[in-house]
Amino acid sequence: MKYDRIWNFNPGPAAVPLEVLEQVHEGWFNYVGTGMNVMEMSHRSKEYDEIHNHTAALVKQLLGLGDEFHVLFLQSGASLQFAMAPMNFLGEGKVADYINTGSWSTKAIKEAKLFGTVNVAFDGSRFNYTHLPSPVELKLTPGAAYVHLTSNNTIKGTQFLSFPDTGGVPLFADMSSDIFSHRFDSRPFGLFYAGAQKNLGPSGVTLVVIRDDVLRSAREGLTTMLSYKTHVDNNSLFNTPNTFGIFFMGRVLQWVVDMGGLEVMENRNRSKAELLYGFMDQNSDFYKGTVDEGSRSWMNVCMRLPDEELEARFVAEGRTAGFIGLKGHRSVGGIRVSMYNAIPVDAIRDLVEFMKQFMAENG
């Protein structure tokens, strides 16, 4: 493969599009006549300002966001958002609904409990997180401040491809591992956020989108850096942002636009999922999916092989064959194939070929 690269199925930080790496490399020593790398520029310069605003504009363009949405670039990952969201929008006498579909939701719930009343509207731990809630399983609180969910469960391998109806209560979502992977209606969302290291580039920048009416309901008197208002009022330039990360995110988003936008991304991700799950379904006595069919993630495909020794061999031989990152999360075991936007259909074709061969030799 070009530059001796390998198919990278790491769960995050994860593969970025090769075209983007090449482009960024081109301007490495001198970004469009500035005589500098982007990371060497002042975050108050005109050149950087353009990069910053262009990245935000691409977010809005790709998601079809109206003027009622603000785009922020923050730091400390999705993990800080677990705390920042309830800190800003919960408090005395307020209730938030949380849908618990895995490890990341559990972490978000833990933080929210520090700031107000949390109603766990669905507790997937009772089913080992193998499915997402059906509408009847979801116990929402009328008048809740918000409903929080994890759109894609990176560790367990389930994904909301459509979102529950909350009857007008703002949806809050951790979209770290599937943002920009398919189209969705953003209007019910009050807040969504994503650490960049899965679908948007390098770690160290968190994309946050917040709706204006929700922002206006935020609590006052918070510490400056943890108040969304600070960052909205200062266009994410209150302090020094991750300038290079934001630049890189802009390049990744431009790549999505150049590929044909979210519809094309969605079709490509669906094709990858059909290819891999289709093969697994035909060979389910060897490659057994760990979640219910209706809840399967297009981004993280989790499976078990007949025994742990075979799983270890699969990972080791996969590595030799040119695939990295196939080991399942320690809490699930088995195999996990993380195939975010940057992974082309060809990578999945090659992987399926390898899986066929491995099964023929070990089945």
Ligand X SMILES: *Cc1c(COP(=O)(O)O)cnc(C)c1O
Q: Are 25 and 190 in contact (CB under 8 A)?
A: no
Least Å distance, CB 123 to ligand X, is 18
How many CB atoms are closer than 10 A to CB 312? 12
Task: Name the nearest CA neighbour of 44 among 182, 277, 235, 261.
Answer: 235
| DSSP secondary structure letters along 99-117 | EE-SHHHHHHHHHHTTTSE
Among residues 41 and 297, whose Cβ is nearest to ligand X? 297
Q: How far apart are CA 38 and CA 56, in angstroms?
A: 17
245 in contact with ligand X (CB under 6 A): no
Among residues 196 and 310, whose Cβ is nearest to ligand X? 196
In the shown chain, the binding pattern of residues 128 to 167 toward ligand X, with x for contact by CB under 6 A and - for none, equals: ----------------------x---x-------------
The single residue among 55, 101, 176, 295 that binds ligand X, judged by CB under 6 A, is: 176
- For residue 22, report the phi and psi dihedrals to the nearest 5 degrees: -65, -45
Q: Which stretch binds ligand X (CB under 6 A): 132-140, 169-177, 209-217, 277-285?
A: 169-177
Amino acid at 157: G
Active site residue 285: no
77 in contact with ligand X (CB under 6 A): yes
Task: Name the nearest CA neighbour of 281 among 267, 270, 292, 271.
Answer: 292
| Angle (nearest 5°) at CA 232 between 177 and 234 | 120
In the shown chain, the binding pattern of residues 198 to 227 toward ligand X, with x for contact by CB under 6 A and - for none, equals: x-----------------------------
Catalytic residue among 198, 272, 298, 327: 198
Minimal CB distance to ligand X: which residue? Answer: 77
Active site residue 94: no
Residues in contact with ligand X by CB under 6 A are: 12, 77-79, 104, 150, 154, 174, 176-177, 195, 198
